[in-house]
Amino acid sequence: MGIIRTDEWLQKHFDRPAKICERLIPYFNGQTANEIYSQLQKFGMYRPSWRTRKNFESMHDDKAWNQVEKLFLKYKNKWSGPDIPVFLFPLEQRGGLFFRNEERNKAGVSFPDKMFLFLSHYDDPKELEALIVHEYHHVCRLRSLNRKMEDYSLLDSIIIEGLAEYAVLKHCGEEYIANWCNIYTEREMTILWNRFLRNQLGKKKNERIHDELLYGGGRIPSLLGYAAGFKIVKDFYRKDNYSTKLSFSIPASKFINERNIIQ
């Protein structure tokens, strides 16, 4: 499947994103266009405005669809990954669960059978590659684990995020990892792990506390689960060397043991 030419959809219905989401109904089991749009907005999909129209224009000028296609094929071949539809839309500058950096110029969300990227202008094409590496790693791991989404635990989610960003470190370089990787010091992470995460790792994805601990909010520090996942995975790879392909199937529990756990 590869890159879906959503630029053509946007040309026709930019001001009616719910109308655009009608085209996504076949990819979402039993959801309406409005439900799909609401879900994607949480991760960065645009709302019509002059700012987001400018993002669309930047995507067009940057030939984003062609660039994403080349990068998607690069990693699909490198990782022997699944052939999935990839959807590009303009980024909403405000809101969304998290963005890759403070400038909020790109975001994404992945499923076992599809991937969404939300973009604006970027000066360095390597930034786009970092986003694709992170999101496509999610696709490959979710496909390999082959579970229902509600069966994933907080530990699974933490490790999924840590592995995806470690792949960015490995394939794109340290300057392209997300800011949340190093948002907390070693000492802070130890304290936060023991206070918030250590005893909650079995919480399931459909439990409210799962997302609160993963994304942060309220009394829980921002992106705590993400930051913990990157530290755990990075510490793991200091001692054990596995290829990116093998990282798609390593059980999350393997990363949590006496040697690698945050103490």
Q: How many independent structural domains does the chain possess?
A: 2
Percent of the chain whose pLDDT exceeds 90 = 85
Please tell me the predicted confidence (pLDDT) of residue 259. 47
- Give the DSSP H/E element, type plus range, for residue 203: none
Percent of the chain whose pLDDT exceeds 70 = 94
Residue 89 clears pLDDT 50, i.e. is over it? yes
Are 17 and 129 members of one domain?
A: yes
Name the packing angle between helices 64-79 and 50-61 (round to 10°): 60
Q: Give the pLDDT band of residue 260 (cuts 50, 70, 90).
A: low
Give long-range contacts, CB 8 A cutoff, 24+ apart: 99-106.
99/44, 100/127, 100/130, 100/131, 100/134, 100/178, 100/179, 101/178, 101/179, 102/179, 106/131
In a domain, 235, yes or no: yes
- What mean pLDDT comes out for the span 163-188? 96
Please tell me the predicted confidence (pLDDT) of residue 241. 79
Are 55 and 109 members of one domain?
A: yes
Residue 135 and residue 153: Cα distance in Å, rounded?
19
Residue 126 and residue 174: Cα distance in Å, rounded?
12
Q: Give the pLDDT band of residue 94 (cuts 50, 70, 90).
A: low
Are 181 and 246 members of one domain?
A: yes
Tell which of 105, 123, 145 closes a domain: 145
Are 130 and 165 members of one domain?
A: no
Are 26 and 83 members of one domain?
A: yes
Residue 43 and residue 145: Cα distance in Å, rounded?
23
In a domain, 178, yes or no: yes
Residue 174 clears pLDDT 70, i.e. is over it? yes
Domain that holds residue 109: 2-145
Sequence-separated (6 or more) residues with CB below 8 Å from residue 44: 91, 92, 95, 96, 97, 99, 107, 108, 109, 118
Please tell me the predicted confidence (pLDDT) of residue 261. 56
Residue 97 clears pLDDT 50, i.e. is over it? no
In a domain, 161, yes or no: yes
In a domain, 48, yes or no: yes
- What mean pLDDT comes out for the span 10-22? 98
Are 158 and 141 members of one domain?
A: no
Number of Cβ within 10 Å of residue 160's Cβ equals 23
In a domain, 261, yes or no: no
Residue 219 clears pLDDT 80, i.e. is over it? yes
In a domain, 23, yes or no: yes
Residue 165 and residue 234: Cα distance in Å, rounded?
9
Please tell me the predicted confidence (pLDDT) of residue 158. 97
Tell which of 101, 117, 145 closes a domain: 145
Are 39 and 55 members of one domain?
A: yes
Is the pLDDT higher at 34 or at 104?
34
Are 36 and 130 members of one domain?
A: yes
Tell which of 145, 176, 192 closes a domain: 145
Are 16 and 101 members of one domain?
A: yes
Mean pLDDT across the chain: 92
Are 101 and 197 members of one domain?
A: no
In a domain, 128, yes or no: yes
Residue 98 clears pLDDT 80, i.e. is over it? no
Q: Tens of pLDDT along 49-72?
A: 999 999 999 999 999 999 999 999
Are 161 and 225 members of one domain?
A: yes
Is the pLDDT higher at 96 or at 152?
152
56-60, 94-98, 107-111, 218-222: range with lowest mean pLDDT: 94-98
Do 101 and 162 contact (CB within 8 A), yes or no?
A: no
Q: Tens of pLDDT along 178-217?
A: 999 999 999 999 999 999 999 999 999 999 999 999 999 8
In a domain, 262, yes or no: no
Are 114 and 185 members of one domain?
A: no
174 φ/ψ angles, rounded to the nearest 5 degrees = -60, -30
